[in-house]
């Protein structure tokens, strides 16, 4: 009788573990779906600036600290027929800055292209202009599939 009771208890515990494992799998899948829904598909979009702030010097990358340039952290709303998405933490700098390969860095190229659209010379005024206007951007997905990159396109 004791053995039968122990067998029933073991079966109940296994059933409980299986239920918990299934719940965890479902939560993981839901979390992955939520994260994927934040990624914009690759393509061309219209973008409007949501917010911006001058980057905190203590949070700059080492290469940025060494450049002497000022950097701005920006968040954008991008939309096209695929939907509307938010691209966060797009870094911009008005200073001509080159990356480790000796080429102009995307932080500078994006700011320059934004200037070509808006024509406002002072960076903070240009960022305010971008809050009320839409600029064409290209959105790509990182090779690891976990984040988006956004490049402001030159005017045609």
64 and 25 assigned to the same domain: no
29 and 57 assigned to the same domain: no
Mean pLDDT value of segment 72-94: 92
Band of pLDDT at residue 1, cut at 50, 70 and 90: low
45 and 112 assigned to the same domain: yes
Cβ atoms of residues 86 and 66 within 8 Å = no
pLDDT at 69: 87
Using the structure block, give the residue that is written with the tokens 């599939």: 145
Mean pLDDT value of segment 45-69: 89
45 and 8 assigned to the same domain: no
8 and 58 assigned to the same domain: no
19 and 63 assigned to the same domain: no
- Show the domain range for 106: 40-152
100-144 per-position pLDDT tens digit: 888 898 999 999 999 999 999 899 999 999 999 999 999 999 999
Q: Count other Cβ atoms within 10 Å, centred on residue 125.
A: 11
Query: Computed over its alpha carbons, how large is the radius of gyration of the chain?
Result: 24
Using the structure block, give the residue that is written with the tokens 């949070």: 59
| pLDDT surpasses 60 at 83 | yes
120 and 144 assigned to the same domain: yes
Give bridge partners of residue 118 from the DSSP assignment: none
In the chain, what percentage of residues exceed pLDDT 70? Answer: 83
33 and 53 assigned to the same domain: no
Q: How many domains in the chain?
A: 2
48 and 23 assigned to the same domain: no
Strands 135-141 and 83-92: unpaired
| pLDDT surpasses 70 at 24 | no
Cβ atoms of residues 75 and 50 within 8 Å = yes
24 and 66 assigned to the same domain: no
62 and 137 assigned to the same domain: yes
Strands 135-141 and 43-54: antiparallel
Vertex 83, ends 142 and 86: CA angle to 5°?
55
77 and 127 assigned to the same domain: yes
Q: Average per-residue pLDDT in the chain?
A: 85
């Amino acid at each position: 009788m004791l053995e039968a009771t122990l067998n029933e208890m073991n079966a109940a515990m296994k059933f409980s573990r299986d239920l918990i494992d299934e719940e965890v799998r479902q939560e993981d899948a839901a979390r992955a779906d939520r994260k994927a829904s934040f990624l914009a598909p690759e393509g061309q979009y219209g973008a409007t600036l949501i917010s911006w702030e001058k980057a905190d010097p203590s949070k700059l990358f080492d290469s940025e600290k060494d450049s002497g340039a000022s950097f701005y952290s920006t968040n954008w709303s991008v939309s096209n027929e695929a939907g509307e998405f938010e691209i966060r933490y797009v870094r911009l700098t008005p200073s001509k800055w080159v990356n480790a390969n000796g080429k102009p860095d995307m932080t500078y190229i994006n700011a320059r292209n934004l200037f070509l659209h808006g024509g406002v010379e002072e960076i903070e005024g240009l960022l305010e202009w971008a809050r009320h206007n839409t600029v064409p951007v290209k959105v790509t997905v990182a090779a690891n599939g976990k984040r988006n990159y956004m490049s402001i396109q030159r005017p045609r």
